[in-house]
Amino acid sequence: MEKRKDVGVQARGIRESTLYVVAYDIPDDKRRTKVHRTLKGFGKWTEFSLFECFLTRKELLIMRAKLDKYLDGACDRVRIYTICETCLGKIDTLGIPEPKEETSYLI
């Protein structure tokens, strides 16, 4: 069992990103595919309907707005769980290593 240590983007000792676990249950294949593709742009696909996303507050708002375009409020569900900085160190992983934030630079 491995415990998480220092993860997330930091600037001057202050974490700028937060880990969000996004789970979805969407019965329609077309909408589910659109949601999956949208989430791939924000994080790592870790389980069948689960993503782990390290996001800034602005990125979270953008992700939510993009997801909202594809959801049918009568039958679709997306749950976004915030993993606080204190809890990051308490995440236990069994099996393959947990996803770590990958920093990308746009030039």
CATH for 49: 3.30.70.240
Instruction: Give residue 85's pLDDT.
Output: 86
Could you give the number of structural domains in the chain? 1
When pLDDT is averaged across residues 48-52 and rounded to a whole number, the result is 94
Torsion of CA 85, 86, 89, 94, to 10 degrees: -90
Residue 82: strand, helix, or coil? strand
Q: Is residue 94 in a domain? A: no
What's the mean pLDDT in 88-100?
76
* Residue 82 included in any domain: yes
Contact 17, 49 (CB under 8 A): no
The predicted model scores a pTM of: 0.76
Query: What's residue 24's pLDDT?
Result: 97
Query: 60 in a domain, yes or no?
Result: yes
